[in-house]
Amino acid sequence: MAFFRDGVVNLGLILLVLMLASTALLGRWFCGWGCHVLLLQDGCSKLLHRFGIQTKPFRSRSLSHVPFLLGFLMFFWPPVYRWGVSPLSVKLNQHYQWIPAFAGNETWPGVTYEFTTSEFWRSFPSFWVAVPFLLICSLFAVWFLGSKGFCFYACPYGGVMAPLDQFAPGRIVVDDSKCERCGVCTSVCTSHVFVHKEVHDFGSVVDMNCMKCGDCIEACPTEALKFGFTVPPFFKKNAKPARESAFRISRSGEYALLVVWAIFFFGFHGLYNIFPLLMAGGIAAIGTWLVHLTAKTFQPKTVKFSKLHLRKNSGVTSLGWSARILSLALIAFAGHSLWVRFESRSIQDMASQVDLDKRLVFSSTPLIATGEMALVCNECIARHQKIQPIAEGGLAFASSPPTWLARAWCHTALGEWSQAIPFVEKHLDYFGFRDDVAGDLGLLRQLAAPQEAEVWYLDQLSVHPQSVRLLEDFTRWLERQGKASTMIVFCREHRDRVAPGGPIDLFLMRRLSLATAQTGELDESVVWFERTLNIEPNNPAAWLRLAEVHLQRGALDSVVASARKARALVSDDPRLLTQVMRMLDAGGAIEEAAALRQQL
Ligand code: SF4
Ligand code: SF4
Ligand code: SF4
């Protein structure tokens, strides 16, 4: 995912490629032998069995295709969006304005390699997400959807591996002369594969749900089964999985289930930045099962789940009514979630329409949105207020973190800097430090409360000493405030916090060389200039600034020497050449300056 979205090559990507390549040869062996979620599901199956709860597979033809959709969304949608949907929608929008332009994600960031990370725990969900996630994807999925319920109705990895399995020659094959059609293999298969039928019809298991776990091989009393290589199902005629005959839901029922699933999935996925794709998939599958079960209570038939009645001949039981209320509540919640998700998306799109130049918006005479743009900002803020948590005057159950910067930008564009600050702060708290966002927060603080800006920058830079953006903005701000002495003290102290000779140290030394020249500490200025030029000697502008400092000191030989260094680095920049000429003149190298003047 990180690769398709951000171009990051990490160990996860390498593992995925190896996994897919080996699946094309050996089938879904990874599912059977390498997946921790399957281990959890198998553990839950055994646990439920121990408590006397028999699980029954929920069989839906339409929902069995859901993993393919999830696999597409997870792996293929980001590149399709980046290189297909986004540029196409922008082009279409230029001709037909009613078509929305989905911009913002179309630039490929290039490939980067990340084989180590200092933020290992950041990729893990919080405790409050992890626990429900594990319950939904293992215990509840198995209990309500049957063994491996999560695999068959919610796993995007399975959705990518299953089609590849159809090309794999590695399969469970039968020695037909030994098979007695006893069906033991089918009874032990927790993937609900009709093993005895498939090996009889095709000589091997053709079902893409076979995870090559080997349970059937172990259980076969005549040792008729083994793992071997044969013609893949894709190249066999009519090699359809035998379990397909077990789907009982009518065609219209299947369509209805798909609609319900979509409401649940798109309502929950990414909601409040809490529900990851896998969890939303699990909730959607279980929610759809519940709605299906509840719908059956409206028919005049006995309806049971496990050994519990939801409807008897005498009517709907209290459990049946509870299921109805729960289904209704879930659908209402999912509908509300869809609205929140839609509003979140719209708010971000609206904020991206506020196309003001950031440099002007954050300048000392800030540009403020007017007319149409101000209207967009105000509408964006009003709509955002509606999806704030109830406790903060909104109609949502929690905040939507991805919208915070959009709201902050609209406040900023309207000149409401103090109102923008809390949203940027919340973003940084929630998503972690980011140089550009922290930089914008600093600029907002400069505008909203200039008297407190210095303390804020010092505080931030003590925690994030490597932040280039904060350093640049802070030193520039001190310069504008005429606080050169404060800047010198800060830069000297800050050098102790960064790697000597590194890019940030170089930046600080440059600042020191200029600031000390400004305050008249000329000898110190020369020292800083020389140090920076030792690291970065091919900088003609720096040589010229050094020449100016030497001139102020009256060291004319050094003026000429520095100007010559600059001259050697400049070939055709008339502005720099004019400065070189001026310095040569001032240093007494009149003839050299005249020659250069002629050349110019
Ligand atoms: S389908 Fe998904 S959850 Fe199931 S075993 Fe395979 S990778 Fe694991
Ligand atoms: S368990 Fe063995 S003998 Fe029985 S049906 Fe399966 S393959 Fe044939
Ligand atoms: S029991 Fe046999 S058919 Fe079933 S998943 Fe395992 S290997 Fe495949």
Among 213, 225, 226, the mutation site with the greatest number of ligand 3 atoms within 8 A of its Cβ is: 213
Mode of pairing for the β-strands spanning 225-229 and 303-305: unpaired
Residues 71 and 159 in one domain: yes
Q: Is 220 in the pocket of ligand 1 (CB under 6 A)?
A: no
Nearest CA to ligand 3 atom 3: 210
Q: Per the domain annotation, does 525 fall within a domain?
A: no
- The number of the ligand nearest the C-alpha atom of 150 reads 1
- What pLDDT is stored for residue 20 in this prediction? 94
Q: How many angstroms is it from 320 CA to the middle of ligand 2?
A: 41
Who wins on pLDDT, 446 or 114?
Answer: 446
pLDDT tens digit sequence for 238-285: 888 887 777 889 999 999 999 999 999 999 998 888 888 999 999 999
Q: What is the average pLDDT across 306-328?
A: 93
CATH number, domain with residue 416: 1.25.40
Dig out the tokens for 477 from the structure. 């701000």
Contacts (Cβ under 8 Å, ≥6 apart) of 46: none
Q: Is 292 in the pocket of ligand 3 (CB under 6 A)?
A: no
Contacts (Cβ under 8 Å, ≥6 apart) of 120: none
Is the CB of residue 443 less than 8 Å from the CB of residue 473? yes
- What pLDDT is stored for residue 449 in this prediction? 92
Nearest CA to ligand 2 atom 6: 185
**Amino acid found at 293:** L
Residues 308 and 210 in one domain: no
Residues 84 and 161 in one domain: yes
Q: Which of 337, 341, 372 is nearest to 355 (CA)?
A: 372
pLDDT tens digit sequence for 387-429: 999 999 999 999 999 999 999 999 999 999 999 999 999 999 9
Residues 467 and 429 in one domain: no
Residues 92 and 206 in one domain: yes
Q: How many angstroms is it from 482 CA to the middle of ligand 1?
A: 63
Among 26, 31, 66, 133, the mutation site with the greatest number of ligand 1 atoms within 8 A of its Cβ is: 31
Among 37, 153, 164, 209, the mutation site with the greatest number of ligand 1 atoms within 8 A of its Cβ is: 37
Ligand 3, closest atom to CA 209? 5
Q: How many angstroms is it from 189 CA to the middle of ligand 3?
A: 5
Q: How many angstroms is it from 513 CA to the middle of ligand 3?
A: 73
Nearest CA to ligand 2 atom 4: 182
Contacts (Cβ under 8 Å, ≥6 apart) of 176: 199, 200, 203, 224
Residues 484 and 433 in one domain: no
Q: Per the domain annotation, does 531 fall within a domain?
A: no
Q: Who lines ligand 2 at CB under 6 A?
A: 174, 179-185, 195-196, 199, 220, 222, 224-225
Percent of the chain with pLDDT over 70: 97
Q: Per the domain annotation, does 236 fall within a domain?
A: yes
pLDDT tens digit sequence for 543-580: 999 999 999 989 899 999 999 998 888 878 888 899 99
Ligand 1, closest atom to CA 156? 2
Boundary residue ending a domain (400, 429, 448): 448
Is the CB of residue 212 less than 8 Å from the CB of residue 26? yes
Nearest CA to ligand 3 atom 5: 210
The pLDDT of residue 97 is above 90: no
Q: Is 437 in the pocket of ligand 1 (CB under 6 A)?
A: no
Is the CB of residue 206 less than 8 Å from the CB of residue 241? yes
Q: Per the domain annotation, does 279 fall within a domain?
A: no
Residues 327 and 475 in one domain: no
Q: Which of 330, 232, 292 is nearest to 61 (CA)?
A: 292
Boundary residue ending a domain (415, 430, 448): 448
pLDDT tens digit sequence for 123-156: 677 788 889 899 999 999 999 999 999 999 999 9
Q: Is 37 in the pocket of ligand 1 (CB under 6 A)?
A: yes
Residues 433 and 355 in one domain: yes
Q: How many angstroms is it from 219 CA to the middle of ligand 3?
A: 10
Ligand 3, closest atom to CA 225? 2
For the CA atoms of the chain, what is the radius of gyration?
A: 34
Q: Is 494 in the pocket of ligand 3 (CB under 6 A)?
A: no
Q: Is 174 in the pocket of ligand 3 (CB under 6 A)?
A: no
Residues 361 and 453 in one domain: no
Q: Is 208 in the pocket of ligand 1 (CB under 6 A)?
A: no
Mode of pairing for the β-strands spanning 112-113 and 8-9: parallel
Boundary residue ending a domain (202, 219, 245): 245
Q: Per the domain annotation, does 520 fall within a domain?
A: no
Mode of pairing for the β-strands spanning 308-312 and 303-305: antiparallel
Q: Per the domain annotation, does 66 fall within a domain?
A: yes
Ligand 3, closest atom to CA 212? 7
Q: Per the domain annotation, does 523 fall within a domain?
A: no
The three-state DSSP-derived secondary structure of 139-157 is HHHHHHHCCCHHHHHHCHH
Residues 189 and 316 in one domain: no
- What pLDDT is stored for residue 112 in this prediction? 81
- What pLDDT is stored for residue 103 in this prediction? 64
The pLDDT of residue 104 is above 70: no
Number of folded domains that form the chain? 4
Residues 441 and 482 in one domain: no
ipTM confidence: 0.98
Give the confidence band of 77 by pLDDT, cuts at 50, 70, 90.
confident
Dig out the tokens for 275 from the structure. 């529900």
Q: Per the domain annotation, does 598 fall within a domain?
A: yes
Q: How many angstroms is it from 215 CA to the middle of ligand 3?
A: 6
Helix orientation angle between 435-448 and 450-463, rounded to the nearest 10 degrees: 160
Containing domain of residue 143, as a range?
A: 2-107+125-245
Nearest CA to ligand 3 atom 2: 216
Q: Is 40 in the pocket of ligand 1 (CB under 6 A)?
A: no
Q: What is the average pLDDT across 474-480?
A: 91
Ligand 1, closest atom to CA 32? 5
Q: Give the C-alpha separation, 400 to 217, whole Å.
A: 50
**Amino acid found at 409:** W
Residues 182 and 215 in one domain: yes
- What pLDDT is stored for residue 376 in this prediction? 94
